[in-house]
Amino acid sequence: MIAALGLLVGVVLGVVLAPTVPLWLQPYLPIAVVAALDAVFGAFRALLDGVFDDRVFVVSFLSNVVIAALLVFLGDQLGVGAQISTGVVVVLAMRIFANAAAIRRRLFKA
């Protein structure tokens, strides 16, 4: 509930304020969003498994975002930013898929 509410508030704020993303931040935002989504799906799955722990969620959310951004930053410095971004997105997307599959199994028993 609080999650949905927060998401709604964030999206509304984003649309209303139409933030101007500084150039240097642009490569990191999509990665950060995907990393955060990974944490969210993991949390949702844990919730359905009955083992949800908000502290784990907060820490995994933040560390996911920070590590993903760090990886991209490092890749940029090494001149392989695009490749690392792709790698990070692929891995995170696979994890999201795995979690989504687990959630689906749990919700629909199929």
78 vs 104, beta carbon nearer other proteins: 78
Work out how close the CB of 104 gets to other proteins at its nearest, in angstroms, rounded to a whole number.
15
8 vs 104, beta carbon nearer other proteins: 8
Work out how close the CB of 16 gets to other proteins at its nearest, in angstroms, rounded to a whole number.
10
Range 53-79 burial, b when 16+ CB lie within 10 A, else e: eeeebeebbeebbeebbebbeebbeee
Work out how close the CB of 93 gets to other proteins at its nearest, in angstroms, rounded to a whole number.
10
15 vs 110, beta carbon nearer other proteins: 15
62 vs 104, beta carbon nearer other proteins: 62
Number of C-beta neighbours around residue 99 at 10 A: 20
Work out how close the CB of 82 gets to other proteins at its nearest, in angstroms, rounded to a whole number.
11
